[in-house]
Structure 1
């Protein structure tokens, strides 16, 4: 698995709207919350996605792009996103190559792990918890707050 302080591995993937996205397009412009989850529309994954949705106004304060990744296909992502009105990007990773890049493969179930990546493309926080899906957004927000404080203090120098 990648570690805190590593450069985030770059990838290209198909998003829920059918368009290709490239992680490199966000680096230098936004902080990124990249979260891996097992499966669309299952109880834990729904709790996790809805926690990100319910905290969307707080997340927006940190100039962040949120990307959820699972091996579900685009149609599944589209339905999941519509059903729960998710305001962020979902990408399909059918061959689990993105999971592999980040070391988020898991054993029996695919890992539920969240990476917070700063604007420079550096991994600042990793939170892994299969059984506390709603806490992933709290972990991300705490890290984004620290990043923003660092940016403010360095701009005041």
Structure 2
């Protein structure tokens, strides 16, 4: 698992428009909130995405871009964004490499059955590409507001 003050792992992944997004695109320009979530259009993931969307202007004022990541496809992300009017980019980490590089692809146990899944987690990356906040196993409700407060203090 990653820790504060280390360099954020680089990535190059397609977003909902099938456009490649690289962390390096933001270096020196914007802070990045990179949040990982299990699945498009599920209850907790929808709460989290909607709350980040409600605060999108505040994040923009704080010179910060918010990017969600799951293993869903670009088409699934587009449907999710359109259904809820989301104002965040969503990356399609279909091969799971981004999830693995950030340590969020983990074994979980649900109803006595073990499986691999994305652990809901959020990383705040400053303009120098350094992890300034690392949060594994977050709760969706109110999380976007907590992240915004941290970003405002950068």
Q: TM-score, normalised by structure 1?
A: 0.89
| Other-structure match for 1:135 | 142
| Equivalence map 1:33-112=2 (5 Å) | 33-108=33-108, 109-112=117-120
Deviations 1:63-100 (A, max 9, x none): 11111000000110000011111111101011110011
Higher strand content, 1 or 2:
2
| Equivalence map 1:3-42=2 (5 Å) | 3-42=3-42
Report if the CA contact (8 A) 1:39-1:72 is conserved: yes
Runs of 4+ in 1 over 6 A off after TM superposition: none
Change (3 A) 1:135 1:106: farther
Q: For 2:129 and 2:142, locate their aligned partners in 1 and report how far apart those are by CA, in whole Å.
A: 23
- Higher mean alpha-carbon deviation, 107-116 vs 3-12, is at 107-116
Q: TM-score, normalised by structure 2?
A: 0.90
Extract unaligned runs of 5+ from structure 2: 109-116
Instruction: State the 1:102 CA deviation.
Output: 0.7
| Other-structure match for 1:154 | none
RMSD (Å) for aligned C-alpha atoms? 1.1
Instruction: State the 1:26 CA deviation.
Output: 0.7
Higher helix content, 1 or 2:
1
Instruction: State the 1:140 CA deviation.
Output: 1.4
Tell me how many residue pairs correspond in the alignment: 146
